Structure 1
């Protein structure tokens, strides 16, 4: 098995990590639901549907807002533009052709278009106003991570370890960079981050890579994790998190690796801390929030890397990446609960049950509320009543 799911059995009370890839069994027990005295209950503004959603597949299709429209997609190829005020469909298009579209890497809104990747190894461009398919090109590997737009390019990170830049208007390949992919990796890839003429992304061999956007020249690689141990699973390192940038500092984290802060000018580490994660990070400007491989939620000081708090009460509940809404840090779990934490203390402030299909992605922030999407395709706009 060359590629494996980090979280394989969604919705079960016990899960086996990397089952079938090792001789030993590693059973992990999900923490019971914490008892929370909710300080507020969100109000539902509207609800809609995006087909069958992503089901129990890996696909992470977060909605995106652009041009006063909310764009949502399902794994089987249905894409909709919704009015964020009332949830009504403005347009919809079905991208399924001879086979299921298997959308997974998206949605990105840029250049008045939408860009979505797929497990079929395609990148597809749609017109934001009409949903018309502008182009679809093969890139030679699964696109599990969201594309990034910069300098007239659409940059995608494929499962074969190739970072590819496509022309935003035609889909023509401008450049490609390849990195080593070990035999055993996590199911997932790092969404690139582009800033200041550079693009930064995590690799399956445990590194953070940097390249010049306009010509695809690799400029440096920084180890985030070092393979250790006697078995392939023990030696598994992977950087699937999307790097985040605060000022002149870049932050990323690796599975069986570290949380690291890197000075963008020198490419030297500022500090390193021993946290293992395959989830994206979040930041409020002074703190960096991490979901560890055990689903512990941790806040560290962005300047020093000092741990400020840790909440371990959601252990192994298969959490989404964290999202910041107002003064709260929000995560969804595999059993369909949203958990709200105080960003300063890590204490629970609210909890809501939404849907037993669970969450693949966290909420999407709107100007007057937020949108949640469940695995079975329910789309809801909510507001907080405190």
Structure 2
């Protein structure tokens, strides 16, 4: 993972998963866990897997290598849409693991995939926004900057958040640009998925450390509020970015600011409910009662959604590079860099089960569709798991 300059040009290269909680520490002294020539810390042995919650592999599919692609698994009903780094996009039936459609765009992607269950949208490294319908290309439009956040397809429109901190809306049928908004920000951005979602009739996007609510019809700003603020004296120290995934329950939206904070806002009023310091690089997930996230050192934490008070924290997966979590029933599901999928109790973080894939690492936050847990590995394995 890298930083890039906000004008879309590649800039400072810097690791994000597993870095120390403060960017300044990593810059000047080397990370106490990773840098300074010291060896990478070894995760604790997990011991024998005691399957408290029975899970079986229902199916497996292939999508192609996903390395380098900020992938989000999109689910709508029983349809799971995924993409590969080299431009393969597929809609998979989560009930069977079979393809509903598949297309090879024959060009590498920088962001994918957004979908409303019918249309799917990806962005190529050539800065082309490509919209597909049933596996056929409907249209494409050139963009002015790189994109690392999957497009949002909603309400007959396609919304795109670019690395130059612009947000654009396109007609989903024709590709006609409807509006564009440019926002100021720090000169560096993360080469990682940001925040872009719908909350009722409001479009919500992350710009630097701020959540901004907009009118999706014309891009006018309805509200904005900060979860984290820039700090420090140089571009790297001052980097502040909201990262996906997010957790939305009615008007409550909770998100993570990269290596800075976790917090929740009220999307109706545009006000902060609470925010707390946190040192993670991946997003959060939860329900109306609790919010869950993994810190950069592998600690998994649960917060009370209403006020941010800590419910529990576990170091069992410490020093394992974890994905953003998925709350699924009684389980908090996270993947790690060795291809393991961990199911933890939502009540106290105790282990419920551990399942293996191909060993190449889980690269996207787990998703659920048609009562099936879906994960994607770096080598392009797509796995569907169901309870016994």
The TM-score normalised by the length of structure 1 is 0.86
In structure 2, the residue matched to 1:114 is 120
Pair 1:199 & 2:203 matched? yes
Post-superposition shift, 1:23? 5.2
- Determine if contact 1:77/1:103 at 8 Å carries over to the other structure: no
The answer to whether the 8 Å contact 2:279/2:295 transfers is yes
| 1:366 corresponds to | 369
Change over 3 Å in CA distance of 1:17–1:5 after alignment to 2 = farther
Counterpart in the other structure of 1:166: 170
Q: How does 1:296-335 map to 2 (within 5 A)?
A: 296-335=299-338
Cα separation, 2, equivalents of 1:58 and 1:88? 23
Residue 59 (structure 1) aligned with residue 70 (structure 2): yes
Change (3 A) 1:202 1:242: farther
- Distance of 2:80 and 2:146 partners within structure 1: 25
Describe the SS at the equivalent of 1:240. Answer: strand
Check the 8 A contact 2:75/2:369 in 1, yes or no: no
Provide the TM-score with structure 2 as the length reference.
Answer: 0.86
1:286 Cα offset (Å): 0.9
Q: Which residue of 1 aligns with 2:38?
A: none
Aligned length: 371
Gap change, CA 1:278 and 1:138, over 3 Å in 2:
farther
Show the 5 A alignment for 1:139-154.
139-154=143-158
Change in CA separation of 1:160 and 1:354 when aligned onto 2, cut-off 3 Å: same
Secondary structure of the residue aligned to 1:226 is coil
> Is 1:376–2:379 an aligned residue pair?
yes
Counterpart pick for 1:48 among 42, 61, 64:
61
Cα 1:48–1:15 shift into 2, 3 Å: farther
The residue that corresponds to 1:31 in the other structure is 43
Change (3 A) 1:263 1:83: closer
RMSD: 2.8
Cα pair distance change 1:329/1:242, threshold 3 Å: closer
Distance 2:20 2:222 in 1: 40
Deviations 1:35-94 (A, max 9, x none): 34332453222222112x213x1421415345x544332110112233434333343211
1:202·1:241 contact (CA, 8 Å) conserved in 2? no
Question: Is 1:101 the equivalent of 2:79?
Answer: no
Aligned-residue offset at 1:265: 3.4
The equivalent residue for 2:230 is: 227
Q: 1:381 to 1:269 in 2, by over 3 A?
A: closer
User: What is the alpha-carbon distance in structure 2 between the residues aligned to residue 121 and residue 298 of structure 1?
Assistant: 37
Partner-residue secondary structure (3-state), 1:143: coil
Measured against aligned partners, the alpha-carbon deviations of 1:187-222 in whole angstroms (never above 9, x if no partner) come to 224231212321112123x22222111110123332
Asked whether the 8 Å contact 1:155–1:164 carries over to 2, the reply is yes
- Answer whether contact 1:334 1:357 (CA < 8 A) is retained: yes
Q: Residue 273 of structure 1 aligns with which residue?
A: 276
Q: 1:75 to 1:84 in 2, by over 3 A?
A: same
Measured in 1, the distance between the counterparts of 2:236 and 2:333 equals 31
Give ranges in structure 1 of 5+ residues lacking alignment.
Answer: none
CA deviations over 1:257-296 (Å, ceiling 9, x no partner): 3222223333222222222333222112211112223332
Q: Is the 8 A contact 2:284 2:292 kept in 1?
A: yes
